[in-house]
Chain A
Amino acid sequence: MSNFEPKIIAFVCNWCTYAGADLAGTSRIKYAPNVRIVRFPCTGRIDFMLLLKALQTGADGIIVSGCHPADCHYTAGNYHARRRWIIFKSLLDFVGFDTGRITFSWVSAAEGAKWAQIVNETVDKIRDLGPYTDYSNLNKLGVGTITEVLNARTA
């Protein structure tokens, strides 16, 4: 497990976090290369089905980040994203998914260092949690019973 390099996907808004990540670049702040950024107009656009899709297809961790409250380029998209996240998180908690794999954060266009820090922290955390295999195990087992899944998890 020591060689495990997690794959992290980041869903970010165009106006704050994407620009914040650009700033990390222009400031030459080094961070872990495990993250892949996907650009959205606004966190309000982020369909949380995308998070499930990412987990289903092989992501080990996810970052969702946009403008700070009150700074949304579109006035309120980040608030909708936040509400959606609260509901989504409680759903994940309910089904027993470790929500520690998902980082929800605000990074402004001026926070290049914060972006690097969030990426590094997330990578460290996911490295400790190990690869996300619950979904692939389910696939292996077909529609497995919960015992089979648990056995696979502890195997």
Chain B
Amino acid sequence: MSRIGVFICHCGENIGGTVDCEKVAETAAKYPGVAYSVDYKYMCSDPGQNMIKDAIKEHKLTGVVVAACSPRMHEPTFRKAVSEAGINPFLCEMANLREHCSWVHLKDDSTTEKAEELVKVLVEKVKRNQPLEPIKVPVTKTALVLGGGIAGIQAALDIANSGHKVIMIEKSPSIGGHMSQLSETFPTLDCSQCILTPRMVEVAQHPNITLYTYAELVGLDGFIGNFQASIKLKAKSIDHDICNGCGDCIAKCPIKKIPDEFNAGLGTRTAVYVPFPQAVPNKPVIDRENCTYFTRDGKCGLCAKVCTKGAIDYSQKDEIITIDVGAVVVATGFDIKGTDFFPEYGYGRYKDVITGLQFERLASASGPTLGEIKRPSDGKVPQNIVFIACAGSRDPAKGIEYCSKICCMYTAKHAMLYKHKVHQGKASVFYMDIRAGGKMYEEFVRRAIEEDDVNYIRGRVSRIYEKNGKLIVKGVDTLLDAYPVEIEADMVVLATAGIANEGSEELAQSLHISYDQHNFFAEAHPKLKPVETNTAGIMLAGACQSPKDIPDSVSQASGAAVKVAALFSKDELTRDPLIAYVNRCGPPTYSTCVGCFLCVSVCPYLAIEKEQIKDRNGNLIKEVAKINPGLCQGCGTCVALCRSKSIDIYGYSHSQVFAEVMALFNERSLENV
């Protein structure tokens, strides 16, 4: 038989002014199972808490109901107090007499009656509470960082510098990401490579970081603190332990006409290649899709002949390794729409209509033109250049409603870079709005307009077509009352929309994280949890979450790193034990679960798995559901769904919630517990 203590708080006048607390305490004393009932001015004060502790000892209480403010306010206070008196904290419940009663009703008998009933409900609940222990799970103090762009680099360095191991995987042969492709960065116009490459080298040399390039995540199992990552190491066909990066193989490779990804398709590369001169690691890989040794059955083999170290290994195979990690930082970056997305701008047919990223390569000193702005079609320096902002972005008709955020700034930068390199040239920018929110950003755009004489035209471009070797750009100036504008341009740069990477949907599914309608990964809360995902232990950094500039990516990466470091600061994680479980019993039933596994399909955390119950000879008796306590967050959706009522949940069990309902109306039908 339960011995429940009921403690009614006046909260000064807050409850006592409206509710007759003395009467509530008197009524509560008569409820079955209540051993002690009292009212007091301030229950949360030290004397109030001591009153509870003394009563627990004196009256040998088995459970406590504190009828005071909202449990969202003081539940931790009172649970701590009861545990100090020696009873399990989960045997304390709160009835909300303040927010849900005294503050919202007038002083009246009906208000006191409501207070009495709220206490009765919680008394019946707490009688059925079970002592619970917080769940403890060990933590593997190694972080997995997916992606070696600036966000991944920053997160990896921050985690490694806080003393934890990091595994970084990057799908391309070098880390560096999009930032390594940029010429100069806004708003300072400092060279992107100059600030990035030292960080890249630091990653490669850091004792706490293990770097796998040319590698991809193929699967992630487990839960926070205890993930198992399966990583595919793609065959590089070159033994990087032996290779010294001399580059003789690259010089001799006869396959030279492969469009260069690093130069956004503007240059060419060989089949055995290093993506760019400052690559980390600075050792080549063989692109098997283009190398004739692989495409034409062993023909060529020149690289193996010229390699003095004997590092070329055509027989290498893709390898899958499994690594235990405790947390994951997803920093897989973004992509941009190609020019072929725009029928009105020629579907990508005009060679001199290029993307912003291609312009970056033209402007870069390490690019295909060594930093001279030249037209891709004939190599001439364009004398009249047009930039089109919001190419795709903020265009619901194209399915991209959002603002890509970085284009206003990089378009201003491009126009400036062009004017700095081609002094007599004319640069025009078509824009919808200039969104230059950021430190020194607006000033930067003003500089482009005022000092570098870039012609900003507010309006859209309806069409681009070729005529006499010129690109005719037909647009409108909406600040001049929709006056039509026509520019004979030599080159057009489209600030195409930033989009989610190809395959990000599949990656999100293998990580069990959410993604939005544009396939960008979804944060756990748009404001208060911008770096976490809905899956505990998996963080986001950089443009894989939404288009971002470098400072934002770096900030988010450091934020993600702190979250990981905080997770790794303890040897064990403790979690609230209010989770669901599938019942188990002795033979021959073992569990009332019938194995329909409908629960598996509704669990948002993939916490429910199938368990095979076998006899001692290993023969299968039945297959039942099992809930992983490390993954379950305690929403209880499976509990309500289960048709055989085989699933229950601690803290909100069937017996508890039904008793609460019945306590309100028909307590006589309740059994005494």
Please give the residue numbers on chain A whose beta carbons come within 8 Å of chain B beta carbons, in ascending order. 5, 7, 9, 18-19, 21-22, 24-26, 28-34, 36-42, 44-48, 50, 53-54, 57-59, 73-77, 80, 84, 116
Contacts and interface: CB of A to CB of B under 8 A. Distances in A.
Given A54-B661, A58-B666, A41 B118 contact: no
A106 B118 CA distance: 23
Contact of A18 (B72, B113, B633, B637): B72
Shortest 6 CB-CB contacts between residues of A and residues of B: A45-B636, A25-B99, A44-B637, A58-B665, A74-B635, A57-B665
Contacts of A30: 104-106
Contacts of A7: 664-665
Secondary structure of the B side of the interface? helix
Interface stretch (B290-298, B466-474, B615-623, B651-659): B651-659
Nearest to B99: A25
B652 A45 contact: yes
B641 interface: yes
B100 A29 contact: no
Contacts of A39: 71
Contact of B104 (A73, A80, A116): A116
B487 interface: no
Interface in B571-595: 578
A53 B662 contact: yes
14 contacts: A7-B665, A25-B99, A25-B103, A26-B103, A36-B664, A42-B637, A44-B635, A50-B657, A50-B661, A53-B662, A58-B666, A74-B605, A77-B637, A80-B641
Interface in B469-527: 514
Contact of B121 (A21, A22, A36, A50): A36
A25 B635 contact: no
Contact of B640 (A19, A29, A34, A47): A47
B668 to A, nearest CB: 10
B22 interface: no
A31 B100 CA distance: 10
B278 interface: no
A97 B22 CA distance: 41
Contacts of A116: 104
B124 to A, nearest CB: 11
Nearest to A53: B661
Given A39-B71, A42-B635, A74-B637, 8 more contacts: A9-B664, A42-B636, A45-B637, A45-B640, A57-B662, A57-B664, A58-B665, A80-B602
B505 to A, nearest CB: 17
A78 to B, nearest CB: 10
Contacts of B383: none
B118 A36 contact: yes
B135 to A, nearest CB: 16
